[in-house]
Structure 1
């Protein structure tokens, strides 16, 4: 496949993973990324079952396991910091501690996959696609900073607000499905002095100590039944919105929000899904959140991106670079798996609403017990463990 040129938009997880496998299969690969370097921050993400098999094939599994979050457990507290629930069996973000899954920081996993791609993959940082026009033989691509180039295949692996999807498939509003809440994540000093531990305060969010307790990752957010109109590239406006919504939240969150303003890795977005009838159009195909975002409520975004990258690369190899055959096989292989994962998020969103109604007649201690005991993520693991990778 040395004469097949592939452009991938997005250098998070799915894009570099796809680049790794395509390069090994003999394709010529270029990755374009709007940011000037790999993006820092993000959530602690879970890599499970078949997704771990994908990671193993890239040769970085040992390092991924070494960099796992290594949390010992979690607590739930009230506004004064009084502990209402404690467990060393699971955490709110990672599920059961005693299992083969790996919870790792998003930016650590991104860096490892990026480094694994090696010198055979071209990266264009601080650049973005401005247009894609297709004919029977090629996809003509223009960029903000680089000279126009032609590619045989273009892949949008550029997230929930995919630029490739907008250029080729149409406005985001056609495909996005809001799930009723927003989430912000950022890094702060470990000022509560947590020791490999995670603390949840309702309604503030989660704080967890990471990187051998050298830092704190803060999760906070709010409910919003209808989507909020905001600029997803204006970080200052997003921080103001979070500060306004969380102004009266207790425990240590007022202190955490002080660090939010200067956090270099602040990320904010809606809990939303992308639902599409087809993930490809001509020579353009979507991968991961760009085509089938499950939202953080699914707990499976990373696993879907990794497995999707492996399958897409494998089907392109099997089809000898024939994009029509490969894209059809890619979708046939993954559609059911994706739909099951997206259904988890919808069920979780419904359960959250039902739980809030049930909590109305419960004490804080009873609420904490209910939340803590249901943070084991078994439904997430059941779906991904049911999927087996094809050999390519």
Structure 2
């Protein structure tokens, strides 16, 4: 039985682990956080990714916790409504679509609960070194003894440790898209009822949506900027300062950002690489081909990539063609899909991609190809 170490316990890593276990592999997931991560924005499961979730056995549960927005208001800088829609929202697209929007933390919880009984999880730990040899990979961890695995998969996000250790510095593969995104939660001080608000003021703006039966708000605040070198604490202060300068509810939102235990902020960037594998190591999801939240397709690409990578490894195991052939097949099947979906982030700067482009990109592959 081949052993596979997967770095990253978010969405892609556990889904890959599920399918590897189904195919007869022995997966281990290592995750830096002490448990499944909470917080984060709403994410979308679209097109062919819905088929992955259905085959994984999670479609009914995902639908049960989906958001239930009735529409959105687009506000001017002073808070006046300038447009509204009851047909679509910026975060999820058309409201009559079969696509599913749900909180990232709900999807993380679901895939962890679905896999924890037959997948080894190493929470509160991380990889510190990789050394490939003829028959496997020697892995050092921040905590605990070194171990050997047949294969290593990096599903550890935009700032992937596995990518850095196996392929080189992050800056060699990161393409900044000119903005930053901050996400945090607060109480529903606007009394929103399944209704979103979107506002732009100068080079900054936000979307606000109610969650948890309208008891909480999730705020997604974006601002234009070149690459920053701020430490996490100073980056939070920068976000607070920018929110304070907004004309509508800026002070209230700034206070929420300062207090939020789930505060997040990072660059809007894509990862672009000529190859997603090197030796026995391969990359999955944001680690190898992050499309950025601007595409709206990061979660869907990760889900599809997890399924396809597991399928390619299983086919190679059956034919005894080896991991190199599996990784080559993975790239052959996934790269056109990734390229189309990454393009959604830059198609219409400052606004979502067209509905036609999203519809084409989200369905642009077959799981059984």
State TM-score, norm by structure 2: 0.95
Does residue 139 of structure 2 align to residue 151 of structure 1? no
Instruction: Give 3-state SS (helix, strand or coil) of 1:37's partner.
Output: coil
1:364 is aligned to none
Measured after TM superposition, the shift of residue 348 of structure 1 is 2.9
What is the aligned residue count?
Answer: 363
1:304 is aligned to 301
Asked if the contact 2:241/2:254 (under 8 Å) is kept, the reply is no
Measured after TM superposition, the shift of residue 259 of structure 1 is 1.5
Q: How far does the alpha carbon of each residue in 1:54-107 deviate from its partner, in whole angstroms, 9 at most, with x for none?
A: 001111111100111111000012244321111100001111001100011111
1:32 is aligned to 30
- Of residues 265, 269, 286 in structure 1, which corresponds to 2:266? 269
Asked if the contact 1:157/1:286 (under 8 Å) is kept, the reply is yes
Residues 107 and 376 from structure 1, CA distance in 2 versus in 1: closer, same or farther, beyond 3 angstroms?
farther
2:219 is aligned to 218
Measured after TM superposition, the shift of residue 174 of structure 1 is 0.3
- Of residues 273, 289, 299 in structure 2, which corresponds to 1:292? 289
Measured after TM superposition, the shift of residue 253 of structure 1 is 3.1
Asked if the contact 1:90/1:375 (under 8 Å) is kept, the reply is no
Does residue 206 of structure 2 align to residue 205 of structure 1? yes
Moved more, 129-138 or 243-252: 243-252
Asked if the contact 1:95/1:378 (under 8 Å) is kept, the reply is no
Instruction: Give 3-state SS (helix, strand or coil) of 1:315's partner.
Output: helix
1:251 is aligned to 248
Residues 377 and 267 from structure 1, CA distance in 2 versus in 1: closer, same or farther, beyond 3 angstroms?
farther
2:311 is aligned to 314
Measured after TM superposition, the shift of residue 241 of structure 1 is 1.5
Measured after TM superposition, the shift of residue 375 of structure 1 is 7.6
State TM-score, norm by structure 1: 0.90
**Separation in 2 of the partners of 1:55 and 1:19?**
14
1:278 is aligned to 275
Equivalence map 1:15-94=2 (5 Å): 15-94=13-92
**Separation in 1 of the partners of 2:262 and 2:16?**
24
Instruction: Give 3-state SS (helix, strand or coil) of 1:38's partner.
Output: coil
Structure 1 unmatched ranges of 5 or more: 353-370
1:98 is aligned to 96
Moved more, 136-145 or 38-47: 38-47
Measured after TM superposition, the shift of residue 376 of structure 1 is 6.6
1:390 is aligned to 368
Structure 2 unmatched ranges of 5 or more: none
Measured after TM superposition, the shift of residue 240 of structure 1 is 0.6
Asked if the contact 1:92/1:375 (under 8 Å) is kept, the reply is no
Residues 230 and 200 from structure 1, CA distance in 2 versus in 1: closer, same or farther, beyond 3 angstroms?
same
**Separation in 2 of the partners of 1:72 and 1:165?**
41
**Separation in 1 of the partners of 2:278 and 2:136?**
13
Q: How far does the alpha carbon of each residue in 1:188-234 deviate from its partner, in whole angstroms, 9 at most, with x for none?
A: 1010000001001113311111121011000112101x211123xx3
1:363 is aligned to none
Instruction: Give 3-state SS (helix, strand or coil) of 1:347's partner.
Output: coil
1:358 is aligned to none
Asked if the contact 1:92/1:376 (under 8 Å) is kept, the reply is no
**Separation in 1 of the partners of 2:190 and 2:79?**
10
CA RMSD of the aligned region, Å?
Answer: 1.4
Asked if the contact 1:297/1:348 (under 8 Å) is kept, the reply is no
1:328 is aligned to 328
